[in-house]
Amino acid sequence: MRKRVYPDTNVALHFKRFDEVDWLTLAGATEVDLAIALSVVEELDTKKWEAGRAVKQRARDLGAWLGRLADGEFIRKGVRVVFEVQESELSVDFRAERLSERSADDRLIAAMIAAARDGNTPVVAVTADLGLRRKLTARGLAVLEPLDSDRRELERDEVVDENRRLKSRIAQLEGASAALELAFEDGTGKTTCELPVCRRLEESEIERIVRRERFRLGEVQALPAAVRAAQQAMQARTPIPLERYLPDLRAWLREFSDSQSRRSLTFPIGFRLKNVGAGAAEETDIILSVPGRETSIGPSRFIPRCRRRPSSRTTTNPFRVLEEMNATADEEIGAGPLDRGVVVEHELGDENAVRISVGTLKHNDALSLGVACWFEAIEDVRPFSIAYRLLSTTQREPVVGQLRFEVTAAAVTLDIPEDDEE
């Protein structure tokens, strides 16, 4: 049996090179078309210049290797590479599928949807990204997790390590070592938070709202023709047929419910880093990680903004049209503005960890930091610990510890906008 397998960028960078992976066993197939989506190629090109030193080198090596392959070339028995350079995802309606063209993950999903719709070969994604796996599963697409045995070890940068050791030794000789401490913003190692969470609407609830709208509009249509004509003249609107309005409303309710739930499950966490040592902390890095697959941490979370609720009437007001167009902008939820020189990025090869680089922190100075955390569903909300590791070239030893975040979910009612009848 032949299968079409889509690896994501995370698998390309942090696992064995494609010709070293046993794709037939992983996919449970006799033949595999290894599809390299255009979004993955573009992300690899970006990583050549914007990622850390080790990731840059991996992206360049893999890009050069892929560049030497021909489309359809076999890289091992039963496995051939297929380059999707025709932007097949553009044939998919991103809005209808609740996808964003700005997201590389969503473009990969769109490419799979197009391949599943246009071909007879089963499609399957391979990713270690929890968020992407859930989005694929929600759309009925098959997904596999790569084997841990195929994960690549993090290469050590010998030059950076040697510089760090030398600077640490110099600081020891001068007797001016740094001593870093990390706590929550209130100075404690434990904090409590009640998270107001909007639950996603069930399909039965969506259908109940749609039925109520059908009944309401039926009452309006039952009014005398003269009354309806007067109302339309005053409001400068004309009714939209139910067969157009109700499906749009049903799709919008799913989109709005999902967007509001994601936004309510995302929250910032603030920290305070202090240097209590006698010397300045140079080349300071803080590595934060959260356990399990239910909790995520990162510089920010990208959430496609929900479009305006469909109206049962059209309008001749041009400002309303402009307002609807502007309401489709996307949203990125983060921990707020960062101090100059502070950089927050995902730790290499780990979707549940971030590295915060703060440069220099002088003696007795303190710095406020922040990250974004989120859960995928209300059922995942539970207390968790944040493990940290504080590194500095002028600190004798790394400092490790844990902070406790006691979080509980408080369910709130989803506020659904009414049909605008103004």
pLDDT in tens, 56-91: 888 899 999 998 988 889 999 999 999 886 666 667
Q: Which pLDDT value is given to residue 407?
A: 93
pLDDT for position 275 = 92
Residue scoring higher pLDDT (285 or 310): 285
pLDDT tens readout for residues 211-240? 888 887 765 444 455 444 544 444 445 566
- Measured over the CA atoms of residue 381, residue 387, residue 393 and residue 394, the dihedral's sign is positive
Residue 381's pLDDT band, with cuts at 50, 70 and 90, is very high
Average pLDDT (3-31) is 92
Cα–Cα distance, 356 to 287 (Å, whole number): 6
- The CA-atom distances, in angstroms, between 378 and each of 189, 266, 273, 415 are 25, 11, 31, 17
Give the residue among 50, 53, 48 at the shortest CA–CA distance from 67.
48
> Which is higher by pLDDT, 391 or 244?
391
Give the model's pLDDT for residue 156: 58
Do 306 and 256 form a contact (C-beta atoms < 8 A)?
yes
Give yes or no for a contact between 125 and 8, defined as CB atoms under 8 angstroms apart: yes
415 Cβ contact list (under 8 Å, min separation 6): none
Report the distance separating Cα 113 and Cα 394, nearest Å: 52
Residue 394, pLDDT above cutoff 80 = yes
Query: Tens digits of per-residue pLDDT, 99-150?
Result: 888 888 888 999 999 888 877 889 999 998 888 888 899 889 999 999 988 9
Decide which of 53 and 7 is more confident: 7
Distance (Å, rounded) from C-alpha 358 to C-alpha 361? 8
Mean pLDDT of the region 25-30: 92
**pLDDT for the residue numbered 4:** 93
Q: Is 80 exceeded by the pLDDT of residue 351?
A: no
In tens, the pLDDT along 299-349 reads 888 777 777 888 877 544 444 433 443 344 456 666 666 666 688 887 766
pTM over 0.75: no
pLDDT tens by residue, 139-186: 899 999 999 889 887 665 566 667 777 777 676 656 678 899 999 999
Domains of the chain (ranges, CATH numbers): 2-150 (3.40.50.1010), 158-197+266-305+331-412 (2.60.40.1510)
pLDDT tens digit sequence for 188-208: 999 999 999 988 889 999 999
pLDDT given at position 227: 45
Poorest-confidence range of 279-288, 295-304, 405-414?
Answer: 295-304
Answer yes or no: is pLDDT of 265 > 60: yes
pLDDT-derived band at 21 (thresholds 50, 70, 90) equals very high
pLDDT of the residue at 309: 83
Res. 412: pLDDT tops 60 = yes
In this predicted structure, the answer to whether residue 3 has a pLDDT above a threshold of 80 is: yes
Lowest-confidence region among 32-41, 225-234, 395-404: 225-234
Tokens of 366: 């303190």
pLDDT at 88: 62
Higher per-residue confidence, 386 vs 311: 386
* Averaged pLDDT, 382-397: 90
Does residue 246 register a pLDDT over 50?
A: yes
Is the per-residue pLDDT at 254 higher than 70? Answer: yes
| Average predicted confidence (pLDDT) for the chain | 81
For tokens 């496609």, the residue is 304
Q: Are 266 and 179 in contact (CB under 8 A)?
A: no
With a cut of 60, say whether residue 413 has pLDDT above it. Answer: yes
